[in-house]
Amino acid sequence: MSSEKEKTIAPLSSSSSSPSVELCKGINGLDKVILRESRGSSAEVYLYGGHVTSWKNDHGEELLFLSSKAIFKPPKAIRGGIPICFPQFGGLGTLDQHGFARNRTWTIEDDPPPFPTNTLSKAFVDLILKPSEEDMKSWPHSFEYRLRVALGPGGDLMLTSRIRNTNSEGKPFSFTFAYHTYFSVSDISEVRVEGLETLDYLDNLRNKERFTEQGDALTFESEVDKIYLSTPTKIAIIDHEKKRTFVVRKDGLPDAVVWNPWDKKAKAMADFGDDEYKYMLCVEAAAIEKPITLKPGEEWKGRVELSAVPSSYCSGQLDPQRVLQGS
Ligand SMILES: O=P(O)(O)OC[C@H]1O[C@H](O)[C@H](O)[C@@H](O)[C@@H]1O
């Protein structure tokens, strides 16, 4: 064999790859960015919605739920992944449900203003959203919304939002916000959530009335749609069957929405399979109860860091303290 041939083969058989960021076409020709980390984890972000639609660990396992019926066609928001709810969560205002950020096309920003703390990640993308003239009619405020989606070397997914009031006439504005994260679970009846016990919540299924959660970890046997208030910075979603625990770490986001539509509502949603409620749970880091107010020139930051770790078992039982207090 010629040494020439050996030279061409060598790079192809190499197993390690460096972090990469690739812009390509996704479903229906929509632009998407694929982030890849050297150990094999990856994430996909659609410019439509600034929407993370996929997050895979280094074994290639999908960690986010995306409906098989998701519609990748503006103006419909994509069902699954991580929709961004801004400048309004739910129906809490005059805008359409969850605001407009999730159904606008964002732009890649090559050189955003520097972050105060540098991320270790080399696989990241910076997006920016500014209001159109049409948006200004329904929400008359100038803003710059910068979103960085980053994949850490260990496969953690980090989303950082920086929202700045750029109104020139001295007007403040207020907004509510959520990272509407759909986690993929093996079976909703095998899942429990820790970190929200004993907290107050507003129940969306009971006119947003305020209740206090009991002392046990949350488990699921029917529709749930609750806004937990003043939540800790760390919440764990434990999937017994998969032996996997998702840890949500958040900053600047005091509230947490927990949502599963269950069977009846699932059937009523055109972009959601009838049985898919079994395989998802939304735990949404949010700022809802106390809207964020920004004066002109002010910037708000809200960050979430998601990790997926093997559940630690202790004589057949999970040890919640280890999950919540561990690093
Ligand atoms: O159907 P969407 O507009 O995407 O909203 C889906 C869900 O989002 C949140 O979790 C709300 O608390 C729910 O009330 C709502 O049903």
**Is 79 annotated for ligand binding?**
yes
Cβ contacts of residue 118 below 8 Å, gap of 6+? none
**Which residue did the predictor score with more confidence, 38 or 10?**
38
pLDDT of 246 strictly over 80: yes
And the tokens for 286? Answer: 């949010």
Distance 90 CA to ligand 1 centre (A): 6
Of residues 37, 34, 33, the one with CA closest to residue 16 = 37
Residue 97, marked binder = yes
119 Cβ inside 6 Å of ligand 1:
no
Do 143 and 164 form a contact (C-beta atoms < 8 A)?
Answer: yes
255 pocket-lining for ligand 1 (C-beta < 6 Å): no
In 3D space, the residue among 88, 48, 56, 65 whose CA is nearest the CA of residue 261 turns out to be 65
Pocket-testing residue among 78, 201, 204, ligand 1, by greatest number of atoms within 8 A of Cβ: 204
Q: Which atom of ligand 1 is nearest to the CA of 265?
A: 16
Q: For residue 312, what is the DSSP state?
A: P
Distances (CA, A) of 228 to 147, 158, 172, 241, 284: 24, 22, 27, 26, 10
pLDDT score recorded for residue 317: 44
Distance from residue 42's CA to the centre of ligand 1 (Å): 26
Q: Calculate what percentage of the chain has a pLDDT beyond 70.
A: 89
CA 294/CA 143 separation, integer angstroms: 10
- Of 47, 48, 51, the C-alpha closest to 73 is 48
State the distance from the centre of ligand 1 to the C-alpha of 94, rounded, in angstroms: 16
CB-ligand 1 contact for 127 (6 Å cutoff): no
Q: Where residue 315 falls among pLDDT bands split at 50, 70, 90?
A: very low
For the chain, where are the alpha helices, taking DSSP H only? 3-13, 133-138, 262-268, 320-325
Q: Read off the pLDDT band of 312 (50, 70, 90).
A: low
Q: Is 131 in the pocket of ligand 1 (CB under 6 A)?
A: no
According to the model, what pLDDT value does residue 84 have?
98
| Complete domains list, the chain, with CATH | 19-325 (2.70.98.10)
Q: Is 241 helix (H, G, I), strand (E, B) or coil?
A: coil
How far CA 231 is from CA of 139, 158, 181, 227, 235, in Å, comes to 29, 19, 16, 10, 8
Q: What mean pLDDT do residues 305-321 have? A: 67
Unique residue bearing structure tokens 């625990």: 245
Sign of CA pseudo-dihedral 181, 185, 188, 192: negative
Q: 282 alpha carbon to ligand 1 midpoint, in Å?
A: 9
Ligand 1 mean position, distance from CA 238 (Å): 22
Residues 85, 87, 91: CA angle, nearest 5 degrees? 70
Ligand 1: which of 84, 201, 257, 284 to mutate, judged by most atoms within 8 Å of the beta carbon? 257
129-161 pLDDT per residue, tens:
999 999 999 999 999 999 999 999 999 999 999
Question: What pLDDT digit, counting tens, does each position of 258-268 carry?
Answer: 999 999 999 99
Q: What's the whole-number average pLDDT of the chain?
A: 91
Tokens linked to 138:
């329904």
- Does the pLDDT of residue 15 top 60, yes or no? no
pLDDT for the residue numbered 13? 32
Which residues form the catalytic set? 180, 284
Q: Whose CA is nearest to atom 16 of ligand 1?
A: 261
pLDDT of residue 5 exceeding 50, the answer is no
Number of neighbouring beta carbons within 10 Å of residue 321: 10
Rg (CA), the chain: 20
Atom of ligand 1 nearest to the CA of 97: 3
The answer to whether 308 and 161 have CB atoms below 8 angstroms apart is no
Low-confidence winner among 8-12, 49-53, 137-141 (lowest mean pLDDT): 8-12
Q: What is the pLDDT of residue 9?
A: 33
159-206, pLDDT tens digit by residue?
A: 999 999 999 888 999 999 999 999 999 999 999 999 999 999 999 999
State residue 80 phi and psi, 5-degree precision: 125, -175
The atom number, within ligand 1, closest to the CA of 102 reads: 4
Q: Which atom of ligand 1 is nearest to the CA of 261?
A: 16
